[in-house]
Amino acid sequence: MKRVYNFSAGPSALPVPALERAAAEMLDLNGTGQSIMEMSHRSKDFAPIIRNAESLLRSLMGVPSNYAILFLQGGASLQFSMVPLNLAGVEAGTPRKQAGYAETGVWSQKAIEEGAKYLNPVVRASSKDRGFTYIPQAPAPDPQDAFYHITLNNTIVGTKWAELPETGAVPLVADISSCILSEPLDISRFGLVYAGAQKNLGPAGVTVVIIREDLIGRAPSWTPGMLRYDIHAKEGSMYNTPPCHGIYIIGLVLEWLRDLGGVSAVAELNREKAGLLYGYLDSSKRFRSPVEKKYRSLMNIPFVPVDEDRRKEIETRFVAAAAEAGLVNLAGHRLVGGMRASIYNAMPKAGVHALIAFAERFEKTL
């Protein structure tokens, strides 16, 4: 069986042990004689599957008991609407509330754009002036802010927050889609975090929301039922048919992570992998990282040719030749170009070594 090294930003590589177990259980899960994809979400057979996923996530992330964990749909993009609706929505005919946002890349811009439909977004900090290659200093929010939103890891540009902003009584909200479970995170610092599963958790189709319970139940009466955190929390993430297969795979991925030693253990491995690749880029005469060192992501590492005049040609050749060598999905996001290696938890160190060895060979052809 041929397996490539998949550097996709998402949907991304999954741990092989989780995939192998899913394959073995495809026709008969837990002796039920049926696949997870055929199983009723209301059945006694599915109940322990979703409970297991929630319990493992709570344990691995150290989620306090006064936070609810929800398994939703719609991707992180739907949370750009659900967060302002539920945390700052107002009844018809009453003045809009305001919320603070940090503008650090494309996804934060999309969150701001969606938020503007329900409230008055105020950009408290921005790194747009230097192409989002760093994380800006975050001033304290206005006490009137309903929440303060950040994108903890910026998948496209490869930056991450080195230090969390201090927000006092204003709930800190974070999109953690591309860094969830990559290193320890103090959930008690946040009012709410959310993550699309397709990077470090499981397959596309599941979105995890972790919300402090005192923030639940604030949605205005006109909010559609499917967009209300209180309804999903009350129904245990089963207000409607949940993405059963995705939740099952998340459970397998979390079991793999637990057996690996947990988040602290994988964080050490992630730092080692990132250190290897950044070390190569910092010593290369042909490629460079565009991100300021203090704010470099552990998960998403973009790099570009030093030769700006031949940039497009070199990028095209590099991505094609890498794919031929079994290193796939290395093209940068269409909005920024370049190359990008996403080295999520499931990427083995051998994959990073293979990428560096290929890049070194490729340099000799330039």
pLDDT tens by residue, the chain, 366 residues? 789 999 999 999 999 999 999 999 999 999 999 999 999 999 999 999 999 999 999 999 999 999 999 999 999 999 999 999 999 989 988 999 999 999 999 999 999 999 999 999 999 999 999 999 999 999 999 999 999 999 999 999 999 999 999 999 999 999 999 999 999 999 999 999 999 999 999 999 999 999 999 999 999 999 999 999 999 999 999 999 999 999 999 999 999 999 999 999 999 999 999 999 999 999 999 999 999 999 999 999 999 999 999 999 999 999 999 999 999 999 999 889 999 999 999 999 999 999 999 999 999 998
Identify whether 199 is a catalytic site residue. yes
Q: Tell me the domains of the chain and their CATH numbers.
A: 16-260 (3.40.640.10), 262-363 (3.90.1150.10)
Catalytic residue (one of 145, 160, 161, 199): 199
Indicate yes or no: pTM above 0.95: yes
Question: Counting beta carbons within 10 angstroms of the beta carbon of residue 42, is it exposed (0 to 12), middle (13 to 18) or buried (19 or more)?
Answer: exposed
Judge contact between 195 and 201, C-beta under 8 A.
yes
Asked whether 336 and 157 are in contact (CB, 8 A), the reply is: yes
Q: Of these residues, 145, 175, 256, 273, which one is catalytic? A: 175
Interacting residues of 123 by C-beta distance below 8 A, sequence separation 6+: 100, 101, 102, 103, 112
CA distances to 281, 318, 322, 357 from 363, in Å = 12, 9, 12, 10
Residue 177: strand pairing partners: none
Q: What is the DSSP string of 71-123?
A: EESSHHHHHHHHHHHHHH---TTSPPPEEEEEE-SHHHHHHHHHHTTTSEEEE
Active site residue 28: no
186 is catalytic: no
